[in-house]
């Protein structure tokens, strides 16, 4: 007989656990059920006519079912926040929280779908089979490099938007923040020398979107240093990174990349020594986005940078995906878009950036609670559908 678990480090009577008691989501009906007449309309026999109509014209499902405003938030729990591979059950509180953000900021009904992990093909098949219930798929906290192939295959297979927020949500808000940070320091975006620390989901997407926005000099680093064609240990997606970045042919550890760099974007965790940060160009820009512990503490970053951003809510300039994904899905659902295109991502970043009328070192992105952000992003996305 196994011993009972001992929870020595958890305060089950504290506000965090009390807020999660029973879960954070529920289901409510949008139509009243008061009598037999209501029953006959909402269920049998009335529902049969709606079913027949949809069978003849499947596009009607977007008008006559909850599919028109419902997104699946799907994970296998293999890369959850800063917690790593904790599995689908432990990932559920995060997915429930994501669903609350969808509803609050975008008016979208989001359903957590936490799946047992498997191969890329197994997950793609499982997600594709449940897709008819939803108007969009938000992939979340799936480990790299599997997440790249899963998203790619689903986009090819499905006719609804598929969006891996860890990649593209992060990239969109980073681009928005960097657009305004460049204005603060008086430099053109395309001329910045950028170092991206991290070659996982977020790092790859940030790099790609910055390049599409016109940034020419991006150097990507992983745990072993600068990614370059001279490296013989590159596997998976990293040879493609090596072929498309690092135009000056730098080699070595991250410290070599930071010499005279204008921008550091950390999406990997770990710590960058202050001595290496001090080698950046004057009036540098530092986005240290690891949560809860930034790669460069803001107090240290401010000693060497003109603009500093983190992923935390207790410091200025929080690079938070909630600025992007509710509006992106709102715009895609309302316009009937079948995918979220690269042009839509660029437009979303521009919409977020323009929400800050006068960028300053203390404000390069709007607050997540600033009114109108999701609406502006939705309008920008819908215009390109």
List residues with catalytic annotation: 43, 98
Using CB atoms within 10 Å of the CB of residue 28, give its burial: 0 to 12 exposed, 13 to 18 middle, 19+ buried.
exposed
Quickly list DSSP for 26-73: ----SS---SHHHHHHHSTTHHHHHHHHHHH-GGGHHHHSGGGGEEEE
- What is the rounded CA–CA span in Å between residue 3 and residue 335? 55
Of 208, 253, 225, nearest to 346 (Cα)? 208
Q: CA of 89: how far to CAs of 9, 75, 76, in Å?
A: 19, 10, 9
The residue assigned the tokens 């289901």 is 27
Strand partners, 8: none
The residue assigned the tokens 């409510």 is 28
- What is the rounded CA–CA span in Å between residue 44 and residue 16? 43
- The alpha carbon of residue 28 and the mean position of all alpha carbons in its chain are separated, in whole angstroms, by 27
What b-and-e string marks burial along 96-117, b requiring 16 or more CB atoms within 10 Å of the CB?
bbbbebbeebbebbbbbbbbeb
- What is the rounded CA–CA span in Å between residue 7 and residue 195? 41
Helix, strand and coil in the chain, % to nearest 5:
45, 15, 40
């Amino acid at each position: 007989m196994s011993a009972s678990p001992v929870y020595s480090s958890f305060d089950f009577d504290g506000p965090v656990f009390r807020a999660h008691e029973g879960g954070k989501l529920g289901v409510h009906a949008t139509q009243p059920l008061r009598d037999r007449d209501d029953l006959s309309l909402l269920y049998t026999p009335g529902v049969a006519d709606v079913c027949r109509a949809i069978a003849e014209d499947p596009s009607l499902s977007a008008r006559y079912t909850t599919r028109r405003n419902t997104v699946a938030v799907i994970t296998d729990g293999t890369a959850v926040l800063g917690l790593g591979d904790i599995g689908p059950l432990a990932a559920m509180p995060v997915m429930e929280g994501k669903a609350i953000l969808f509803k609050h900021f975008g008016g979208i009904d989001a359903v957590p779908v936490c799946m047992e992990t498997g191969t890329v093909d197994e997950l793609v098949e499982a997600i594709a089979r449940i897709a008819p219930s939803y108007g969009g798929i938000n992939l979340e906290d799936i480990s790299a490099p599997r997440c790249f192939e899963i998203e790619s295959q689903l986009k090819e297979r499905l006719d609804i938007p598929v969006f891996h927020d860890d990649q593209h949500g992060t990239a969109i808000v980073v681009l928005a923040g960097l657009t305004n940070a460049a204005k603060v320091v008086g430099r053109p975006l395309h001329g910045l020398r950028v170092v991206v620390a991290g070659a996982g989901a977020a790092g790859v997407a940030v790099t790609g979107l910055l390049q599409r926005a016109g940034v020419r000099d991006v150097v990507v680093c992983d745990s072993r240093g600068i990614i370059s064609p001279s490296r013989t240990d590159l596997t998976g997606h990293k040879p493609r990174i090596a072929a498309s970045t690092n135009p000056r042919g730098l080699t070595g550890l991250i410290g070599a990349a930071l010499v005279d760099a204008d921008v550091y974007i950390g999406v990997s965790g770990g710590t960058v020594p202050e001595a290496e940060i001090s080698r950046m160009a004057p009036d540098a820009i530092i986005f240290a986005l690891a949560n809860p512990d930034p790669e460069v503490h803001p107090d240290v970053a401010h000693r060497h940078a003109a603009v500093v951003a983190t992923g935390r809510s207790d410091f200025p300039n929080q690079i938070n995906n909630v600025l992007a994904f509710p509006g992106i899905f709102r715009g895609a659902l309302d316009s009937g878009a079948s995918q979220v295109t690269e042009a839509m991502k660029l437009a979303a970043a521009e919409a977020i950036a323009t929400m800050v009328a006068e960028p300053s070192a203390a404000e390069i992105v709007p607050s997540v609670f600033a009114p109108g952000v999701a609406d502006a992003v939705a309008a920008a996305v819908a215009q390109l559908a």
